[in-house]
Each structure stands twice: as C-alpha cells, then as structure tokens.
Structure 1
Amino acid sequence: MAEKPSFQQASLDYHKAKSEFDTNGKTGTLLTKPCTTQEELAMAYSPGVAYPCLEIQKDANLAYEYTNKGNLVAVISDGTAVLGLGDIGHLAGKPVMEGKGVLFKSFANVDAVDIELNTKDPDEIIKIIAAMADSFGGINLEDISAPRCFEIEERLKEICNVPVFHDDQHGTAVITTAGLMNVIEMSGKKAENLKVVIIGAGAAGIACAKMYKKLGIKNITMLDSKGVIHSGRSDLNRYKKLFALETTDRTLGDAMKNADMVLGLSRPDLITPQMVKSMSRTNPIIFACANPNPEITPAEAKAARPDVIIGTGRSDYPNQVNNVLGFPQIFRGALDVRATKITENMKLAASHALAALAKEAVPEQVKQAHHRQNMEFGHEYIIPSPFDRRVLVYVASAVAKAAIQDGVARVKDFDTEAYKIKLQRLADHLDGKI
C-alpha cells in the first residue's frame, strides 16, 4: 500500500494542475456567456461590444449593467504581512491571495482577482490602486503590514468610489465583536463596565479596539511586543497613542487581572493558566487567535477556569474566529446595493447579524460538519459556524440594509425581504440544492 503523502506534500500537489486541461493555482476565468457561433463572437467582441461601451460612456453607472464590475473584487497585497509568515514578498503571497478568491466565490459567489504589487511604498500603492479601482465593485486589501495599512486604507477610502476593506483589520473585529455581544447578553454584564485586554497592536488589534469602543467598551488595555501601551511610553506611533492608558500595568500578567475579556493576536502559549485564574469572577472570555497554535488551548483555559468562554482561530475547536464569516458576505451585501463605501455601521450590522444567528437552531448538516451532536447557544457556541449557509443571508442582508440607511448605496429601490429570499436561493445554489 502506497504511503499517504504528508499534509505539506498534499497541499503542494493540490496547487498544481491535475490534468492536461487543468491549470496550476486555484482560480481561473469562468465564461458567463456563450461564444460558439459567429453571432455570439460578434457580440462578445467586435463589432457588437461597441454598444455597451457607448452606453457606459454616457452613464458610468451602466458598467454595473453591462460588465462584471458589480460582482468583482480585487484582492490586493504587497506581501508584507502574509498570514503568520511575515514579509515574504509579493509573489510568495500569491497563493494566499488566490485562496482569498476561492473563499469569496465559495461562500458568497463573488468573483475575485488577485493582484500582487511589487512595491512597499504606501504612496505608490495608493496611486496604483486608485488608478484601477473603477474596474472593480470593491477592493479587498490583504496582508499589508501595520502601520502602513492604516494610512493606505484611509486614503483609498477618501479617493475611491467603491468599497475599500482591509480584511486583516476589520474581519477579526466584526467576528469577535459578535461573540462579545453574545457573551455580554449571556453574562448580564454591561459593555461600559468591561475590562478588555488586547494582545497585539497590529492591524487587527487596533481595528478590534476601535470596534469595541463603538460597542460601548471604555476600558481597553493594549499590549505590543514591549508590553502594555501606556502614556509614559515615547515609542508609540499615532495609532497606538490612541490607546495609551494612564496605568501602572506593564506586563500581560498585570493587565489580565480582573479582565473580562482577552483577545490574543500574538503568538502561541503566551497566556498561562495563572493569568486565566486572575480574570473576572464570572464568565471571562478569551479569543486566542494565534495560528496555528493559540495563546492558550481551550483545555488549558478550562482547566484553570471551568466557566471560561474561549474561541480560537482553529476549526477543530468550538467558537472559531474565522474571517470567512465576514468578508465574503460583507462584500456580497455591499456589491448588491452598489455601495461606494463600507461604513462603520455596515460592519456593526454584520456583527449584530452573526450574534443573532448564533441563537438560532443549528441545522443537522452543520453539526455533522463539526462532528458534534449538540450545538446550541451557550459557552461552546457563541459564534456561528462557517458551514452554516444562513450566514450569507443574515450578514449580506444586514450590510445591504445598513448601506441604504447610511446613504452610500447607489441602489435606492431596495426591498430587504425580497433580497433575503434572493440570498437564500443563492445559498441553496452554493450548496448544490438548485
């Protein structure tokens, strides 16, 4: 019997062509119109293609009607912060960007094209993306290192007339905020009374802190590689300065005392059982998101505190913080109302939608996907499963509705209930039911 290949080899083989008509990589071009007759060829290109060109020349918004713009997202990276691999270069990051395209298509039927930029200059990156943005319905910035990513996104949001979304920042923020909303409800605590600790002051950490503030949380202690970010430090950039506290806490151990929540965006095994024991008296929450190994495992955390509620970035533990619960569906909703921006209200709407779905009965096929007989709202289930297709319906409809409310949607005649029905049909289609 042939020896089963290692996971590493299996992954390398997965990315290669499987047959003579296959291509390397994970994405390609899917034709949506036939081109098998002389008439179809004449419409696909010359001379018939001139007619939609002239219509778009008269009204640029008609690009949504006659091209793929309304269902197309650019996944753009400079390769400076690729997953846990760091600055590996723009081309080495391409498999990840292709993978993002796979997730867009698989979970929300959004087409995506990956673009890897051979520059680390923020001004040059901004100039390049701004020049090409109109070709797409949205821009997904990916794996760009902090603090450069903040400036790049901020300036592009001002310049571009389509949504610009840095998923490394906002995806984690949307999903952990949903979990936090549910823990607040379960515990009876109030947001304004919570003490939150965030380990990691990069793109995700700062975005999460900003979103938690919008939830009403006032007491946030953030740590970087040098310890607690406090007002006495002189080495802070302008983004970290926003979270500098007047405090005597200097270490993670200091900060975690009486904390209601800890968000880990750092490295494995950083949180000790003793730190967990020192947290708030009831229902402390830990999101240990370091990959592939979390800051503390669920087993270790629960051994220290049986009442702890813990989520990780891993699919083999309950309460997975997985960005695929956010970015495909957020873009789906934004694209379908032809939004010009993704607002704070749209992101918060996505969090509320995820929090609400976690309280619904879980379909049997989702339980089977997780090899669990019982999945119901509680300590082991505060965040929906990525395998629950209702995520698409809940999140995309909430985002689209918020875009309408915020006045950033080009579509004005919008029926939320009809849109939910359309999304459910799409979810069924993605599941192979229709």
Structure 2
Amino acid sequence: MAVASTVPLTSREDLSLAYTPGVAQVCEAIAADPALTRELTWVGHTVAVVTDGSAVLGLGNIGPRAAMPVMEGKAVLFKQFGGVDAVPVCLDTQDTEQIIAVVKALAPSFGGINLEDIAAPRCFEIERRLDAELPIPVFHDDQHGTAIVVLAALRNAARLLGRDLGDLRVVVSGAGAAGIAVTKMLIAGGVDAGRVIVCDSKGTLYAERPDFAPGSEKAGLAAITNAGRVANGIEAALVGADVLIGVSGGQIAESAVAAMAPNSMIFALANPTPEVPPAIAGKYAAVVATGRSDFPNQINNVLAFPGIFRGALDAGAQRITEAMKLAAADAIAGIVAGDLRADQIVPSPLDPRVAPAVAAAVIAAT
C-alpha cells in the first residue's frame, strides 16, 4: 500500500495550489460550510478499516500490530474492487468505551467506518453505538459482509433446487458475530425463524436454556428460533435439516451430515479448514460452498463490502440499513442467476460486474 497524489507537484504554481497559500481557501470554505468536506477532500471516497486485533481471521487475539497486514489487505481490496480508498487503523486497546471514543474522534477524517476482526460480544456494542452516534456509515464486515453473501448464495442454491426459502430447515453452526448476523439476515430474507436452529459450543440455542445473559444477542436469537425446542448438540439439530451453514471452525462428524434431508445444502465456511471437508459434504449435499478460493462457490466478503461502501459513499448515506443489505444480497445473486449450476451459486470474487451491481443496488435502496 502507498499514498499517491492525484495532482502534479512539479512547479511553484502546483505547490501554491496544493498547499500554501491555495489550501487556505479550501479550509475557509469548509469552515463556512462543513458539508463541503465530502467534495473538497478525500472524505467522500475514503473509509477507515478499524480493528483491535482481537479476532483476526482464524488467528484469534493476535493484537493490533500483527493485525496490520490483514487490514492492509482489506484496504487493497476496497481500492481494487470498489474504487474506495481505505486506511488501516489498528487500535492498541480492547476496551469497548476506548474504542468507541477513538473512532468517534477519528470520524471527521473519513466517509465511513469498516469495523474488522473485533471479537464478539464486544463487536455488537461497538457497532451499535457508533452507528447511532456517527453521521457516517458504520459496517462490521465480519458480521454483515458474511451474512449478505450467505443470503445471496442460499437464494441461488434454493432456486437451483426448486426450493422456497420459507420451507427450509436451516442449522447455523456458530453463534459468534458471523453466526448471529447470518441468522438475522436469513430471517430478514425470507427464512422462517422457527425453522432455524443455531448451535454454539454448548449445544443448540432455545428459549429455556439457562446460561444466556439477559438481553444478550444469543438470548434474542433463542427467543425467535428453534420453534421445536431441539436440545442437545448439532447432531440432533441436523436430523432432517435442509441447510447447514458453518461459521464456527469446529469440525462436524460425517454421521451428523449423513442425517440431513436429501438434496441438502452445506455451506462450510471456516478457513482454512471447513467444518465439513468438501469431499464429505459432496457425498450428501446437492450444493456445497466453502470460504476457500480453491473450491467452487467461495463465500467471500469481497463480493459485498467494496460495492456496499461504494454505493453508500456515492449516495451520501449516513448509515447502512437492512434494506441496503438485502438489496446487496439480491444484486450478488443476480449476477449468476441466469447461469446457475451446483458449482456456481455465487459469482467469482474477481468478477468485475459485482461491485458496480452492488453499489447500484445500495444507492437504489438508500
């Protein structure tokens, strides 16, 4: 990564425009009308990629310095696929209040905030507070980017198999940031909440389970999902299930997958080791997806976040709404809707059509 000027600096005249005295006129204009910041500075096309290094990829809590390469990579993807400039911001604190205060203090420098690799449950409070308190879009990609692409993939997989989302029995393995967001997104997209079972490391989520903190994200999901009150672990949940979505990193036994319904769908998204090896998943499922680039149907956040921020910035949006997320999922699904195959339910991350389509959908939903 590097920073490059968009104007020449080869003469005294160039310097007088780009810096003193010319820059003073721009400062005075913005002081008189702060809204001009978007037009006259980089704010209108730049986001901060913010992390505390507490949940980096599959590496865990490796801290802000070790997280920097991932944030730099994210910034490169923003530029390559969405034409959005991005700056990595790695914070040397994992205190919720400090993170919120620092990001709020930095916010005037940016047109949006992409939260990245912040552990649950802290990430929920940080995003919720910043979204409410800042006049610019705030988006935790580990939650919503994953959820948007999963919904797009499930729409197409169901269409390919002639199934209706509302009739599917869905099991989500993992109740962290991604699992909770995926569950909420699927329900918003048409999956029947009562037919969804979410599993964490202690078993299935259901309303009577005693170990949830009151008001927690898990308690909220348990109240609306798993209408049959299936208890025990993922093995019980998968009996007769149509869909398995793995966002946990834990391994799932072949015997549990074998108990799923015929023509099932398995999205085993843990990286680098899927919850169910693709060769095993393919024995039982009609459609298999992973988070890896070396297998078909890669569920990759890069299909979502560049276009979402491109659209939000171009629209001057103050937040990224549920309607925008659903529109983004529909746009991603639509790229390959006319050429669906079991090994092509989402477009390639390198498909140049994706980000413009997502951006246009987000603008239309603003």
Structure 2 residue 263 is the aligned partner of structure 1 residue 275? no
Out of 21, 31, 47, the position equivalent to 1:57 is 31
Q: Is the 8 A contact 2:151 2:329 kept in 1?
A: yes
The offset of 1:258, in angstroms, is 1.1
In the TM superposition, 1:124-203 aligns within 5 A as 124-203=98-177
Residue 294 of structure 1 corresponds to 274
Does structure 2 retain, via aligned residues, the 8 Å contact 1:221–1:243?
A: no
How far did 1:233 drift? 2.3
Q: SS of the residue aligned with 1:54?
A: helix
Return structure 1 stretches of 4+ with deviation > 6 angstroms: none
The answer to whether the 8 Å contact 1:110/1:332 transfers is: yes
Matched-pair contact (CA < 8 Å) for 2:204–2:230:
no
Offset, 1:90: 1.2
Give the whole-Å Cα distance in 2 for the aligned partners of 1:260 and 1:30: 50
The answer to which structure, 1 or 2, has the higher relative contact order (CA under 8 A, 6+ apart) is 2
Instruction: Spell out the pairing of 1:323-362 with structure 2 (5 A cutoff).
Output: 323-360=301-338
Q: Does 1:220 pair with 2:218? A: no
Q: What does 1:99-138 align with in structure 2 at a 5 Å threshold? A: 99-138=73-112
1:385 alignment counterpart: 348
**1:239 matches 2:220:** no
Counterpart for residue 46 of structure 2 = 72
Secondary structure of the residue aligned to 1:308 is strand
What is the alpha-carbon distance in structure 1 between the residues aligned to residue 295 and residue 107 of structure 2? 38
Deviates further, 193-202 or 343-352: 193-202
Distance 2:244 2:78 in 1: 29
Task: Give the counterpart of 1:260 among 195, 218, 242.
Answer: 242
Q: State the one-letter code of the partner of 1:101.
A: A
| Alpha-carbon distance between aligned partners in 2 of 1:400 and 1:107, rounded to the nearest angstrom | 17
Q: Distance in 1 between matches of 2:70 and 2:164?
A: 39
Match of 1:395 in 2: 358
| TM norm structure 1 | 0.80
Give me the whole-angstrom Cα distance separating, in 1, the residues matched to 2:98 and 2:301. 28
CA positional deviation for 1:185: 1.9
Which amino acid is 2:93 matched to?
T
Length, aligned pairs only: 358
**Partner in structure 2 of residue 409 of structure 1:** none
CA distance in 2, matches of 1:151, 1:209: 18
Structure-2 separation of matches of 1:391 and 1:122:
34
Structure 2 counterpart of 1:83: 57
Shift of 1:80: 0.5
Match of 2:290 in 1: 312
* Alignment-derived partner of residue 206 in structure 2: 230
1:349 maps to a residue whose letter is A
Query: Normalized against structure 2, the TM-score is what?
Result: 0.95
Residue matched to 1:16: none
Asked if the contact 1:199–1:265 (Cα under 8 Å) also holds between the matched residues in 2, the reply is: yes
Deviation by residue 1:82-116 (Cα, 9 ceiling, x = unmatched): 11111111111111111111111111121110111
Name the CA distance, whole Å, in 1 between partners of 2:212 and 2:242.
26
CA distance in 1, matches of 2:238, 2:174: 14
Distance in 2 (alpha carbons) for counterparts of 1:192 and 1:291: 29
Which ranges of structure 1 fall in alignment gaps of 5 or more residues? 1-26, 361-375, 404-434
Q: In structure 1, what is the Cα distance between the partners aligned to 2:83 and 2:65? A: 25
Identity %: 49
The answer to whether the Cα contact below 8 Å between 1:90 and 1:117 also exists between their aligned partners in 2 is yes
Q: Which amino acid is the alignment partner of residue 269 of structure 2?
A: C
State the 1:249 CA deviation.
2.6
Question: Can you list the C-alpha shifts for 1:195-252, whole angstroms capped at 9, x where unaligned?
Answer: 1111111111000111111112222111111111222322224100122246143111
Q: Is the 8 A contact 1:74 1:113 kept in 2?
A: yes
Deviations 1:291-318 (A, max 9, x none): 1010112211122x2x521100111111
Name the SS for the 1:39 alignment partner.
helix
Question: Which secondary structure does the structure 1 equivalent of 2:249 belong to?
Answer: coil
Deviation at 1:190, TM superposition (A): 2.4
What amino acid is the match of 1:231? Answer: A
Q: Is the 8 A contact 2:160 2:340 kept in 1?
A: no
Equivalent-residue separation in structure 1 for 2:116 and 2:279 (angstroms): 32
Matches of 1:334 and 1:280, distance apart in 2: 40
Task: Give 1:254 deviation, angstroms.
Answer: 0.3
Residue type at the aligned position of 1:225: S
Following the alignment from structure 1 to structure 2, what is the Cα–Cα distance between the partners of residues 337 and 267? 37
Which whole-Å CA distance do the structure 2 matches of 1:191 and 1:251 have between them?
Answer: 24
CA distance in 2, matches of 1:299, 1:275: 15
CA RMSD of the aligned region, Å?
1.3
Paired with 1:194 and 1:165, the residues of 2 have a C-alpha distance of: 28
Q: Counterpart amino acid of 1:194?
A: L
Residue 309 of structure 1 aligns to a residue whose secondary structure is strand
Map 1:417-432 onto structure 2 (within 5 A).
none
Larger radius of gyration between Structure 1 and Structure 2? 1
